[in-house]
Amino acid sequence: MKRAARPKLASAKERAPLILARLKAAYPEASTALDFENAYQLLVATILSAQCTDTRVNMVTPEVFRRFPNPAVMARALVANHGGEVPNTMEELHALPGVGRKTANVVLGNAFGINVGVTVDTHVARLSQRLRLTPHDDPVKIERDLMPLFPQADWALLSHLLIFHGRQVCIARRPRCDACVLADLCPSARIP
Protein backbone atom coordinates (compact mmCIF):
# COMPACT_ATOMS: atom_id res chain seq x y z
CA MET A 1 0.00 0.00 0.00
CA LYS A 2 1.38 3.40 -0.97
CA ARG A 3 1.82 6.10 1.62
CA ALA A 4 -0.17 9.22 0.89
CA ALA A 5 1.87 12.13 -0.40
CA ARG A 6 2.65 14.72 2.22
CA PRO A 7 0.71 17.94 1.68
CA LYS A 8 2.70 20.95 0.48
CA LEU A 9 3.80 23.09 3.39
CA ALA A 10 3.26 26.82 3.61
CA SER A 11 6.13 29.21 2.93
CA ALA A 12 8.75 29.99 5.56
CA LYS A 13 7.13 33.42 6.08
CA GLU A 14 3.76 31.76 6.77
CA ARG A 15 5.21 29.04 9.02
CA ALA A 16 7.53 31.30 11.07
CA PRO A 17 4.85 32.72 13.45
CA LEU A 18 3.55 29.20 14.13
CA ILE A 19 7.06 27.89 14.74
CA LEU A 20 7.78 30.71 17.18
CA ALA A 21 4.49 30.29 19.05
CA ARG A 22 4.90 26.54 19.42
CA LEU A 23 8.50 26.80 20.60
CA LYS A 24 7.53 29.49 23.14
CA ALA A 25 4.84 27.18 24.49
CA ALA A 26 7.18 24.16 24.56
CA TYR A 27 10.12 25.98 26.19
CA PRO A 28 8.83 28.82 28.38
CA GLU A 29 12.08 28.68 30.39
CA ALA A 30 14.34 29.14 27.34
CA SER A 31 17.30 31.38 28.07
CA THR A 32 21.06 31.34 27.72
CA ALA A 33 22.74 28.32 29.24
CA LEU A 34 25.70 30.43 30.32
CA ASP A 35 25.90 31.58 33.93
CA PHE A 36 26.64 35.30 34.28
CA GLU A 37 25.96 38.25 36.56
CA ASN A 38 26.83 41.14 34.25
CA ALA A 39 27.78 42.03 30.68
CA TYR A 40 31.50 41.52 31.35
CA GLN A 41 30.95 37.97 32.62
CA LEU A 42 28.65 37.14 29.70
CA LEU A 43 31.19 38.48 27.22
CA VAL A 44 33.98 36.34 28.68
CA ALA A 45 31.76 33.25 28.97
CA THR A 46 30.53 33.62 25.40
CA ILE A 47 34.07 33.97 24.05
CA LEU A 48 35.04 30.82 25.98
CA SER A 49 31.97 28.94 24.72
CA ALA A 50 33.34 29.12 21.19
CA GLN A 51 36.03 26.67 22.34
CA CYS A 52 33.96 24.20 24.39
CA THR A 53 30.46 23.42 25.68
CA ASP A 54 28.35 25.79 27.76
CA THR A 55 28.44 23.23 30.58
CA ARG A 56 32.25 23.25 30.61
CA VAL A 57 32.29 27.07 30.49
CA ASN A 58 29.99 27.21 33.53
CA MET A 59 32.40 24.87 35.35
CA VAL A 60 35.45 27.07 34.78
CA THR A 61 34.07 30.61 34.88
CA PRO A 62 33.65 30.83 38.67
CA GLU A 63 37.43 30.47 39.02
CA VAL A 64 38.08 32.75 36.04
CA PHE A 65 35.92 35.48 37.57
CA ARG A 66 37.51 34.97 40.99
CA ARG A 67 40.93 35.61 39.46
CA PHE A 68 39.76 38.26 36.98
CA PRO A 69 36.73 39.91 38.59
CA ASN A 70 36.56 42.88 36.24
CA PRO A 71 37.90 44.20 32.93
CA ALA A 72 40.68 46.16 34.61
CA VAL A 73 42.54 42.94 35.46
CA MET A 74 41.72 41.04 32.27
CA ALA A 75 40.51 42.96 29.25
CA ARG A 76 42.78 45.82 28.23
CA ALA A 77 40.67 46.69 25.17
CA LEU A 78 37.63 47.29 27.38
CA VAL A 79 39.60 49.51 29.73
CA ALA A 80 41.53 51.41 27.06
CA ASN A 81 38.68 51.95 24.62
CA HIS A 82 35.51 51.79 26.71
CA GLY A 83 36.38 52.92 30.22
CA GLY A 84 36.16 49.38 31.56
CA GLU A 85 32.56 48.94 30.40
CA VAL A 86 31.27 46.42 27.90
CA PRO A 87 29.99 48.41 24.93
CA ASN A 88 26.38 47.99 23.83
CA THR A 89 26.65 48.35 20.06
CA MET A 90 27.41 45.73 17.43
CA GLU A 91 30.20 47.82 15.94
CA GLU A 92 32.04 48.40 19.24
CA LEU A 93 31.64 44.80 20.43
CA HIS A 94 32.73 43.38 17.07
CA ALA A 95 35.90 45.50 17.25
CA LEU A 96 36.99 43.77 20.49
CA PRO A 97 39.52 40.91 20.23
CA GLY A 98 37.80 37.53 20.06
CA VAL A 99 34.33 38.98 19.44
CA GLY A 100 32.51 38.03 16.27
CA ARG A 101 28.94 38.71 15.26
CA LYS A 102 27.62 35.67 17.14
CA THR A 103 29.25 36.72 20.43
CA ALA A 104 28.11 40.32 19.95
CA ASN A 105 24.51 39.16 19.38
CA VAL A 106 24.62 37.04 22.54
CA VAL A 107 25.90 39.92 24.66
CA LEU A 108 23.59 42.54 23.16
CA GLY A 109 20.48 40.36 23.41
CA ASN A 110 21.09 38.84 26.84
CA ALA A 111 23.01 41.49 28.78
CA PHE A 112 21.43 44.60 27.29
CA GLY A 113 18.10 43.43 25.84
CA ILE A 114 19.11 44.82 22.44
CA ASN A 115 18.13 42.71 19.44
CA VAL A 116 20.38 43.66 16.55
CA GLY A 117 20.44 40.19 15.03
CA VAL A 118 19.85 36.50 15.60
CA THR A 119 22.59 34.45 17.24
CA VAL A 120 23.38 31.58 14.87
CA ASP A 121 25.17 28.68 16.52
CA THR A 122 25.30 25.08 15.27
CA HIS A 123 21.83 24.26 16.63
CA VAL A 124 20.22 27.37 15.13
CA ALA A 125 21.91 26.70 11.80
CA ARG A 126 20.85 23.04 11.73
CA LEU A 127 17.24 23.70 12.70
CA SER A 128 16.90 26.66 10.35
CA GLN A 129 17.98 24.41 7.49
CA ARG A 130 15.78 21.48 8.54
CA LEU A 131 12.79 23.79 8.86
CA ARG A 132 13.69 25.26 5.45
CA LEU A 133 13.85 28.76 6.86
CA THR A 134 17.13 29.17 4.97
CA PRO A 135 19.01 27.31 2.24
CA HIS A 136 22.35 28.60 3.53
CA ASP A 137 25.00 27.16 5.83
CA ASP A 138 26.91 30.41 6.38
CA PRO A 139 25.88 31.90 9.77
CA VAL A 140 25.66 35.48 8.47
CA LYS A 141 23.42 34.43 5.57
CA ILE A 142 21.27 32.31 7.91
CA GLU A 143 20.91 35.31 10.22
CA ARG A 144 19.87 37.52 7.30
CA ASP A 145 17.24 34.94 6.28
CA LEU A 146 15.82 34.58 9.81
CA MET A 147 15.56 38.27 10.71
CA PRO A 148 12.67 39.19 8.37
CA LEU A 149 10.73 36.05 9.36
CA PHE A 150 10.50 36.82 13.09
CA PRO A 151 9.71 39.93 15.14
CA GLN A 152 12.85 41.81 16.18
CA ALA A 153 11.72 41.73 19.82
CA ASP A 154 12.04 37.91 19.71
CA TRP A 155 15.44 37.55 18.01
CA ALA A 156 17.43 36.73 21.17
CA LEU A 157 14.69 34.42 22.41
CA LEU A 158 14.42 32.71 19.02
CA SER A 159 18.02 31.55 19.31
CA HIS A 160 17.39 30.11 22.78
CA LEU A 161 14.22 28.37 21.62
CA LEU A 162 15.95 26.76 18.66
CA ILE A 163 18.91 25.74 20.82
CA PHE A 164 16.63 24.14 23.44
CA HIS A 165 14.69 22.33 20.72
CA GLY A 166 17.89 21.24 19.01
CA ARG A 167 19.31 19.80 22.22
CA GLN A 168 16.14 18.07 23.37
CA VAL A 169 14.21 17.00 20.26
CA CYS A 170 15.75 17.91 16.91
CA ILE A 171 19.02 16.21 17.74
CA ALA A 172 21.66 16.28 15.01
CA ARG A 173 22.03 12.58 14.24
CA ARG A 174 18.75 11.25 15.57
CA PRO A 175 15.95 13.79 15.44
CA ARG A 176 12.92 12.73 17.45
CA CYS A 177 10.33 13.78 14.87
CA ASP A 178 7.66 11.67 16.58
CA ALA A 179 7.95 13.93 19.66
CA CYS A 180 8.36 17.22 17.78
CA VAL A 181 5.85 20.05 18.17
CA LEU A 182 6.98 21.32 14.77
CA ALA A 183 6.72 18.06 12.81
CA ASP A 184 3.74 19.15 10.72
CA LEU A 185 5.51 22.43 9.87
CA CYS A 186 8.88 20.84 9.07
CA PRO A 187 9.73 19.75 5.53
CA SER A 188 12.46 17.49 6.96
CA ALA A 189 10.25 15.69 9.49
CA ARG A 190 10.35 11.93 9.37
CA ILE A 191 6.71 11.24 10.08
CA PRO A 192 4.27 8.87 8.44
- Residues carrying an active site annotation: 102, 121
Give the closest residue to 98 by CA, choosing from 48, 142, 168. Answer: 48
Distance of CA 175 to the CA centre of its chain: 19
HSE of 174, CA atoms in CB hemisphere, 13 A:
0
Give the closest residue to 35 by CA, choosing from 62, 63, 69. Answer: 62
> Can you list the alpha helix ranges (DSSP code H) found in the chain?
12-26, 39-49, 54-67, 71-74, 76-82, 90-94, 101-111, 122-130, 139-146, 155-168
